[in-house]
Amino acid sequence: MKKTILTLAAAALAFAAQAQTAREEIAANIYLSGSNYLDYDRQLPTEKLTPTPKGYEPYYFSHYGRHGSRWLIGKNSYTYVIDVLAKAKEQGKLTAKGEETLANVQKINATSIDRLGDLTTVGERQHHGLGKRMTQNFPEIFKHKDVFIDARSTTVNRCILSMVAECEEFMAANPTAHIHNDVSESLQYYLNQSWSDFLRKTRHKGDSIGAVYAKKYINPERISTVLFNDAQWAKDSIDAGRLMYQLFDITTNMQSHDIDINMFPLFTLDEVYDMWRNVNINWYLRYGSSPYSDGLLPFSQYNLLRNIIASADTVTQTQAVLRFGHEVCVLPLASLLELGDCAVQIENLDELDTVWRNYRIFPMACNVQLIFYRPTKGKSGDILVKALLNEREVKMPVKTDMYPYYKWSDLRKYYVEKLDKYAASHN
């Protein structure tokens, strides 16, 4: 507990400098409440990158990124809300706002036929933008003559298409680039590693905790009066909490589409903030460094970090390796790498959002970029690394006197020892 409190205090000091609370940030930009549905291009303002250290040049780009914006995935993601509201309409229990909401969700659902989980045009744009900025931020790599770019994706279509969008930008910027794309089940073991039985059981330790906070932060009483004209009927006939959760899910994911429907006015700011807090806690408990799972869940990306290290060990020329997958990998990877405050451990989850905010870590198209730098003279000497989380410089878990640059030898040693310790204890 002492360690948790100290960690919280240190992280809170860092956040204090940012001035705004999560509630204030969401009030200023309601789209942030979408958590993992946040449109990458609706994030917090971008930050200027630190210039390359004198006497160094970037030569290797190592990356893991999530697919872009998509339709919702679940079979009942849209139809559950439609079924509940349609039932109420048949019985004359919908208000005018309820009927309007039903019509909106039916319109959205009509676009999802045979599209559940697919990449949207918004998601495609996100990756074109990312690819273009990569070539602009690191031309020494992506515009290098005959540069080799190795791009790999999980077997999911939205990931493959995200990879294609970025690679189109690489080729447009540098026609001499040699781009190799690979999609295979043989890559799944590190691009989307299956959870071990041990980690799966460990994750379930937080389930009861999550249920407590869900009950606390999902309060459907007011919105039921907005949608239904018979409070007693609504109380007896529907699961108002689930309806509110599913409706909020659809509402926040609408930023994944070029459709002019905005259902945020259905919710008060307090409801939006509380619904987001519930989701924020749930993601932290299920994929983050939560003390309720002994901080072990980030090791679900054990194979991915091993691959990142092994790939870096083989680099002999200017090149880039890009990996495409999912937010359920980016979040634990960022925590395993201890980027910024991603790995913070908070026991009092009512205070989690003062330190750990999911929209900073895994919006749609979220990504971790590791850029390696070598001396320009002699090509020998200390290799330096800079980490970007969603194109923002972040601290890493070893000492440095030239932030945001770190010696790769120090980082490599730290991560290898961390992985070896886990393997010795749990594999």
Report how far residue 138's alpha carbon sits from residue 325's, in angstroms, rounded to the nearest whole number: 22
Would you give per-residue pLDDT tens digits along the chain (427 residues)?
Answer: 334 444 444 444 444 445 799 999 999 999 999 999 999 999 987 889 999 999 999 999 999 999 999 999 998 999 999 999 999 999 999 999 999 999 999 999 999 999 999 999 999 999 999 999 999 999 999 999 999 999 999 999 999 999 999 999 999 999 999 999 999 999 999 999 999 999 999 999 999 999 999 999 999 999 999 999 999 999 999 999 999 999 999 999 999 999 999 999 999 999 999 999 999 999 999 999 999 999 999 999 999 999 999 999 999 899 999 999 999 999 999 999 999 999 999 999 999 999 999 999 999 999 999 999 999 987 678 999 999 999 999 999 999 999 999 999 999 999 999 999 999 998 6
Mean of the per-residue pLDDT values for the chain? 94
Residue 130 structure tokens: 């990312």
Q: How far apart are CA 56 and CA 138, in angstroms?
A: 13
One-letter amino acid at 10 equals A
- Reported as a single tens digit per residue, the pLDDT across 93-127 is 999 999 999 999 999 999 999 999 999 999 999 99
Domains defined along the chain, listed by start:
2-72+117-203+282-426 (3.40.50.1240)
| Tokens encoding 280 | 């924020």
CB 320 within 8 Å of CB 60: yes
Task: Reduce the secondary structure of the chain to three states and give it as a string.
Answer: CHHHHHHHHHHHHHHHCCCCCHHHHHHHCHHHHHHHHCCHHHCCCCCCCCCCCCCEEEEEEEEEEECCCECCCCCCCCHHHHHHHHHHHHCCCECHHHHHHHHHHHHHHHHCCCCCCCECHHHHHHHHHHHHHHHHHCHHHHCCCCCEEEEEECCCHHHHHHHHHHHHHHHHHCCCCEEEEEECHHHHHHHCCCCCHHHHHHHHHHHHHHHHHHHHHCCCHHHHHHHECCHHHHHHHCCHHHHHHHHHHHHHHHHHCCCCCCCHHHCCHHHHHHHHHHHHHHHHHHHCCCHHHCCCHHHHHHHHHHHHHHHHHCCCCCEEEEEEECHHHHHHHHHHCCCCCCCCCCCCHHHHHHCCCHHHCCCCCCEEEEEEEEECCCCCCCCEEEEEECCEECCCCCCCCECCEEEHHHHHHHHHHHHHHHHHHHC
Beta carbons within 10 angstroms of residue 418's beta carbon: 18
For position 56, what pLDDT does the model report? 95
Q: What would the two tokens of residue 6 be?
A: 């100290």
Measure the CA–CA gap between 166 and 132, rounded to whole angstroms: 7
Residue 163 CB neighbours (<10 A): 25
User: Residue 17's pLDDT is what?
Assistant: 44
Q: What is the pLDDT of residue 252?
A: 98
Other beta carbons less than 10 A from residue 316's beta carbon: 8
Phi then psi dihedrals of residue 385, to 5 deg: -135, 140
pLDDT at 32: 98
The tens digit of pLDDT for each residue in 214-262 reads: 999 999 999 999 999 999 999 999 999 999 999 999 999 999 999 999 9
In whole angstroms, what is the distance from residue 66 CA to residue 314 CA? 24
The encoded tokens of residue 302 equal 């054990």
Tokens of 321: 């390796």
State residue 2's pLDDT score. 38
